[in-house]
Amino acid sequence: MRNKAIAVILGGGQGTRLFPLTKLRSKPAVPIAGKYRLVDIPISNCLNSDIRRIYVLTQFNSASLNRHIKNTYNFDVFSSGFVDILAAEQTPQSDTWYQGTADAVRQSIHHMENHPHEHVFVLSGDQLYQMDYRKMMAKHEASNADLTVATIPVVAKHAPQFGIMKTNNSGVIEGFTEKPDPAELDQWKSDTQERFQKDGRVYLASMGIYIFQKEVLTQMLDQYADSTDFGKEIIPSAIADDFNIHSYEFDGYWRDIGTVKSFFEANLALTDDLPKFNLYDNDDFIYTHARMLPASKLSGTTFANSILAEGCIIEANKIEHSVVGIRSRIGQGTTIEDAIIMGNDFFPSDEMPQDTKAAKPQVSIGERCFISNAIIDKNCIIGDDVRIIGGDHLEDGEYENYHVVDGIVIVPKNSVIEDGTEI
């Protein structure tokens, strides 16, 4: 794999469905699981699969993503591996920003010509999963496919949420539909593996993970020159033109982090006793920036079914079913449940300011607070006696210093919530 393939990770567009988490950063740079960023997932999958030449295509709000990649993924001088950032750029061939997934690869493909390779992985930068790409490559080569699409079998209830592939008995993709009408689902059933059929998982949802033969990728990008998106345009056209396109059925955990609700649920699912996404695997590591932080400290806190990252000082009364990110500080008497606390980029000051309205208080989250069904983004200051209770009783919208999305209260990065506030 090391010399056969190059991986291209799509850095995403504006990430409007994840706003306001993407107000100051791109989707792949959004923190997850207390200490990682979303882009660490596909990069880690590549490294664990012995793919060492990786490009990350960036565009919107890319500064923090670029900084994270630069500070995290450095190979030694004896290795030919790299994780390089390809930002949208003007060239004699194009003077526009990336218009879609296919257009991003089309505008960047000339950078890959300096490195010999036979296949190109095209990966999303905002999904949560662990996959051995070597298995997918073995299927791709055994079938001599022009293109292999990773699919995940789903039940009828979930099929209308995805692009659905229809395959024949040999695994060749013969049709594609985007978010099919439930009334038309019967014609989109595929002959999935027996264990999937027993559970009613007979619809193959595209995961947005592709392997192209190098020459075929170039041919498709040229042949469908007006197409800007792989899933919606190029792949349906290629199926119609009888390219040899195969499905690779994946049976592990996979979650698309496309919305605030899916992001919130995927994070909190990591607090389960046996989470489906395993951060504690001895082989499939998830890599991230190596921070030299002290161990976290808890004082008198009831801590249940939660994740606690490094560098935290916690004096809360109770933390339950929550994710607490790096360098967090939480004051005495505070209760946090069903919440994501992203932490801080720096240690809060130990000095108590004279005027709490003019300067930041001592701790990130103050004393005697109650926070539930909320996301507190990085570097936020939550004063004392603050109550933040998300839920269906709240109307979605943008307010003075917080947002509500699907009933989840989001306090954006660097925000201040003053003492006694009730949300």
| Residue 373 placed within a domain | yes
Q: Is the dihedral of CA 229, 230, 234, 236 positive or negative?
A: negative
pLDDT mean over 117-135: 94
Whether residues 63 and 188 share a domain: the answer is: yes
| Residue 274 placed within a domain | no
Residues 6+ apart with CB under 8 A from 296: 308, 309, 310, 311, 312, 313, 314
| Residue 282 placed within a domain | no
Tokens matching residue 236: 């349906």
Whether residues 148 and 213 share a domain: the answer is: yes
Q: Residue 336: pLDDT above 60? A: yes
Q: Residue 354: pLDDT above 50? A: no
Note the pLDDT of residue 136.
96
DSSP 420: T
pLDDT mean over 105-112: 86
How confident is residue 39, by pLDDT bands cut at 50, 70 and 90?
A: very high
Sequence-ordered alpha helix ranges (H) in 115-248: 133-142, 194-198, 214-223, 235-240
| 410: CATH | 2.160.10.10
Note the pLDDT of residue 191.
85
Note the pLDDT of residue 352.
43
| Residue 286 placed within a domain | no
How confident is residue 199, by pLDDT bands cut at 50, 70 and 90?
A: confident
Note the pLDDT of residue 100.
79
Whether residues 19 and 132 share a domain: the answer is: yes
pLDDT mean over 90-101: 64
Q: Which of 218, 252, 269 is the last residue of a domain?
A: 269
Share of residues in the chain with pLDDT > 90 (%): 64
Between 34 and 60, the more confident residue is 34
| 32: CATH | 3.90.550.10
**Range among 84-98, 104-118, 388-402 with highest mean pLDDT value:** 388-402
Each residue's pLDDT tens digit, 141-193 = 999 999 999 999 999 999 998 999 999 988 899 999 988 888 888 889 888 88
Note the pLDDT of residue 362.
58
How confident is residue 92, by pLDDT bands cut at 50, 70 and 90?
A: low
Whether residues 231 and 358 share a domain: the answer is: no
How confident is residue 282, by pLDDT bands cut at 50, 70 and 90?
A: confident
Sequence-ordered alpha helix ranges (H) in 161-293: 194-198, 214-223, 235-240, 260-269
| Residue 409 placed within a domain | yes
Q: What is the span of the domain harbouring residue 340? A: 297-417
Each residue's pLDDT tens digit, 203-257 = 999 999 999 999 999 999 999 988 888 988 999 999 999 999 999 999 899 998 8
pLDDT mean over 312-318: 95
pLDDT mean over 88-106: 69
| Residue 277 placed within a domain | no
Whether residues 84 and 31 share a domain: the answer is: yes
Whether residues 219 and 304 share a domain: the answer is: no
Whether residues 215 and 309 share a domain: the answer is: no
Whether residues 240 and 369 share a domain: the answer is: no
| Residue 278 placed within a domain | no
Whether residues 50 and 183 share a domain: the answer is: yes
How confident is residue 358, by pLDDT bands cut at 50, 70 and 90?
A: very low
| Residue 285 placed within a domain | no
pLDDT mean over 295-305: 95
Share of residues in the chain with pLDDT > 70 (%): 92
pLDDT mean over 70-79: 85
User: Which burial class, exposed, middle or buried, applies to 293 when counting CB atoms under 10 A from its CB (0-12, 13-18, 19+)?
Assistant: middle
What pTM value is reported for the model?
0.91
Note the pLDDT of residue 87.
76
Note the pLDDT of residue 27.
87
Note the pLDDT of residue 349.
66
Between 280 and 389, the more confident residue is 389
Whether residues 245 and 157 share a domain: the answer is: yes
**What are the start-end ranges of the E strands in 146-244?**
147-154, 163-167, 173-178, 203-213
CB crowding 112-135: b at 16 or more within 10 Å, else e = beeeeeebbbbbbbbbbbbbbbee
Note the pLDDT of residue 195.
87
Note the pLDDT of residue 356.
44
Whether residues 242 and 339 share a domain: the answer is: no
Note the pLDDT of residue 15.
65
Whether residues 334 and 232 share a domain: the answer is: no
Q: Give yes or no for a contact between 321 and 305, defined as CB atoms under 8 angstroms apart.
A: yes
**If we measure between CA atoms, which residue out of 45, 24, 32 comes closest to residue 209?**
45
Q: Residue 197: pLDDT above 90? A: no
* Distance separating alpha carbons of residues 5 and 273, to the nearest angstrom: 36
Q: Which of 218, 249, 269 is the last residue of a domain?
A: 269
Q: Which of 251, 269, 287 is the last residue of a domain?
A: 269
| Number of domains comprising the chain | 2
pLDDT mean over 29-47: 95
